[in-house]
């Protein structure tokens, strides 16, 4: 059986220009990334800011077309953005956003937000849609008296629940979460992560979880891919990566996660800034910072 | 607020029921009672230099000015929004052309261009409405383009696209209602400007042509009698000021009411 999601050699290059007459430089935001995701599996993508995680997430969903390489959903190649096939496929692959307030139309009530995917994909009649909205609100932990609330009347955690509920309305098979908890309070983060974990298990979702929060990734993910400057430097089962990291960059990341009973002075503190992606060091891009 | 709504309703009623409300035909002259001051029985706002009833002419003027201003505002809002959305949707060449046209429009001395067009084609009501409709579209285009692009880049519009919505659904059901409040405010700014523009054109003799009358046309012809019979000019001028003020107030109120995020404030 073909994997739910398969990406081969994805490349995304942005052109930047320095100054008025400067020569344009290529920034390889994603540079030859391949990965596979089985049904019901959770893949964590970690890396520091600017490592290309979010761009990768958008490419996996087909929002940004890959300049080289292919994305296959269930063995079928991703259609071009904006086509009817591409829109129809949205019912099967969905996204959770970092900032739930920006992702919700502030003029629509919770019920209207949740009805959108059903209206768009013409699922069910009026009555079954209403029922489905109620069911979904309960399963993401929203109260039914919040149906007529607007996004600005909800708390951050509740908004993210609405975003999650909206994404799940069409019963997708693949969910890409782009830093879904990094805009939330720490006290709320755990709730939302647990909710995602429960939903993922109950619905056998394939999930790509993009985050820079290693604690969350460790709790949630079966496999982890570590990105640095647009490339995956290490990939493997979560336990292996966190217990026995091989790549020095992964070692530095893992050592930064506080653990009970271990002094913080064993942290590896990386020297310097990540290199300019427009001017990538030859060989392993990490070598100038390698200890 | 209620006052401004009341005034607008009264103005619109005036415009619709002109033929019933008007005590005299606007061209009826009576040289025996020329330049009668306001308060003269039968001519409550006085008469002008030809003995025509100012009140009747005022009511007729409200109709022509409102038709021109409403028609032109709607026209420019429609085209401006359409072009702005097209620029945001297709980007690339389309966007360049729209932005260039907007810059061109902004740099154009509009009054002089209108003068040229009207002088060349002659003045008529439909032409006047269309011409005024070209006024101010670039503002709507800029606003809608900017807001739509930012909504598409990371906000709710991108999220709705990812839900699988067609472009028409994204633009009409999501982006348009979200930018409507800004557009309405912009309309309430353009509306008075169009009334004033029409007044200027009529004042220069290229707008509404006599014997028909508009607010600006009345101000223009009343100018000569400013010292001896100020009411000829003051009454249409007052109507212009009150109407534009009422439109601005009503626009503010409408914007607040249309925005659910402002509920808690009011």
Which residue is closest to A114 within chain B, CA to CA? Answer: B163
Compute the nearest-CA separation of A107 from chain B (Å): 6
Q: What is the pLDDT of residue B82?
A: 93
User: Is A205 part of a structural domain of the chain?
Assistant: yes
Find the CB nearest A87 among B154, B164, B178: B164
**CATH code for position A253:** 3.40.50.300
Judge: A103–B155 Cβ closer than 8 Å, yes or no: yes
Mean pLDDT by runs of 10 across the 266 residues of chain B is 83 79 72 71 72 81 85 91 91 90 87 85 83 86 91 85 89 88 84 82 77 80 80 84 85 77 54
Number of structural domains found in chain A: 1
Which pLDDT score is estimated for B266? 40
State which residues of chain A have pLDDT below 50: none
Residues 6+ apart with CB under 8 A from A109: A147, A148, A149, A150
User: Looking at the domain assignment, is residue A41 inside a domain?
Assistant: yes
Asked if B260's CB is within 8 angstroms of A61's CB, the reply is no
Question: DSSP string spanning B152-209?
Answer: HHTSHHHHHHHTT--HHHIIIIIIHHHHHHHHHHHHHHHHHHHHHHHHHHHHTTSSSP
Rounded to two decimals, the pTM is 0.82
Domain extent at residue A199: 5-92+170-289
Q: Which of B92, B156, B172, B263 to mutate to test the interface with A (most CBs of A within 10 A)?
A: B156
Cβ atoms B36, B100 nearer than 8 A: no
Contacts of B261 in chain A (CB under 8 A): 106, 150, 152
Which site among A84, A102, A123, A148 would you substitute to test the B interface, given the most B Cβ atoms closer than 10 Å to its Cβ? A102
* Cα(B241)–Cα(B157) distance, integer angstroms: 40
Dihedral over Cα of B47, B52, B58, B59: its sign: positive
Q: List the domain range (segments joined by +) for residue B231.
A: 2-262
Give the 3-state secondary structure of residue A235. Answer: strand
Give the pLDDT of residue B182: 85
Give the per-residue pLDDT at A166.
Answer: 93
- A-chain CB neighbours of B167 within 8 Å are 82
Any idea what the CATH number is for the domain that residue B161 is in? 1.10.3720.10
Cβ–Cβ below 8 Å for B156 and A63: no
- Inter-chain contact A95–B169, Cβ cutoff 8 Å? no
Confirm if A195 and A142 have CB atoms less than 8 A apart.
Answer: no
Number of domains making up chain B: 1
What ipTM was reported for this prediction? 0.83
A183 CB near a chain B CB, below 8 Å? no
Question: Which residue among A89, A105, A152 places its CB closest to the CB of B156?
Answer: A105
What pLDDT sits at residue A1? Answer: 65
């Amino acid at each position: 059986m073909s994997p739910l999601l398969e990406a081969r050699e994805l490349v995304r290059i942005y052109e930047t220009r320095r100054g008025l007459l400067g020569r344009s430089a290529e920034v390889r935001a994603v540079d030859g990334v391949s990965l596979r995701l089985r049904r019901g599996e959770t893949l964590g993508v970690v890396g520091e800011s600017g490592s290309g995680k979010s761009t990768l997430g958008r490419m996996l969903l087909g929002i940004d077309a890959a300049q080289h390489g292919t994305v296959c959903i269930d063995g079928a190649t991703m259609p071009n953005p904006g086509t009817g096939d591409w829109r129809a496929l949205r019912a099967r692959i969905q996204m959770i956003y970092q900032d739930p307030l920006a992702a919700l139309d502030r003029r629509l009530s919770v019920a209207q937000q949740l009805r959108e995917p059903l209206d768009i994909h013409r699922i069910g009649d009026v009555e079954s849609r209403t029922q489905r909205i109620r069911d979904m609100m309960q399963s993401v932990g929203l109260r039914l008296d919040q149906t007529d609330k607007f996004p600005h009347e909800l708390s951050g955690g509740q908004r993210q629940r609405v975003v999650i509920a909206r994404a799940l309305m069409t019963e997708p098979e693949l969910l890409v979460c782009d830093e879904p908890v990094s805009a939330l309070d720490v006290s709320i983060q755990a709730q939302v992560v647990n909710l995602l974990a429960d939903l993922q298990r109950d619905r056998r979702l394939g999930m790509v979880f993009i985050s820079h929060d290693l604690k969350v990734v460790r709790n949630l993910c079966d496999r982890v891919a570590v990105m640095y400057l647009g490339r995956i430097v290490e990939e493997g089962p979560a336990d292996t990566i966190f217990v026995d990291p091989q790549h020095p960059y992964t070692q530095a990341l893992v050592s930064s996660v506080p653990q009970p009973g271990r002094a913080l002075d064993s942290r590896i503190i990386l020297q310097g800034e990540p290199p300019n992606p427009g001017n990538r060091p030859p060989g392993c891009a990490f070598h100038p910072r390698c200890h | 607020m209620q006052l401004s709504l009341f005034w607008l309703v009264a103005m619109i009623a005036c415009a619709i029921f002109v033929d019933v409300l008007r005590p005299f035909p606007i061209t009826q002259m009576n040289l025996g009672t020329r330049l009668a001051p306001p308060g003269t029985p039968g001519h409550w706002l006085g008469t002008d230099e030809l003995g025509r009833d100012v009140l009747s002419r005022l009511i007729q003027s409200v109709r022509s000015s409102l038709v021109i201003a409403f028609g032109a505002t709607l026209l420019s809002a429609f085209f401006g929004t359409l072009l702005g959305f097209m620029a945001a949707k297709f980007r690339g060449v389309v966007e360049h052309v729209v932005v260039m046209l907007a810059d061109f429009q902004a740099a154009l001395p509009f009054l002089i261009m209108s003068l040229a067009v009207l002088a060349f084609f002659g003045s008529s009501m439909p032409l006047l409405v269309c011409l005024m409709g070209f006024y101010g579209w670039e503002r709507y285009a800029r606003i809608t383009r900017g807001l739509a692009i930012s909504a598409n880049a990371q906000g709710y519009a991108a999220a709705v696209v990812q839900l699988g919505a067609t472009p028409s659904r994204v633009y009409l059901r999501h982006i348009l209602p979200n930018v409507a409040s800004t557009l309405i405010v912009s309309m309430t700014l353009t509306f008075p400007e169009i009334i004033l523009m029409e007044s200027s054109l009529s004042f220069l003799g290229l707008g509404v042509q006599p014997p028909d009358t508009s607010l600006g046309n009345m101000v223009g012809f009343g100018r000569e009698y400013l010292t001896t019979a100020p009411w000829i000019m003051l009454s249409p001028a007052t109507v212009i000021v009150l109407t534009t003020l009422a439109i601005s107030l009503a626009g503010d109120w409408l914007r607040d009411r249309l925005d659910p995020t402002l509920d808690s404030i009011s």
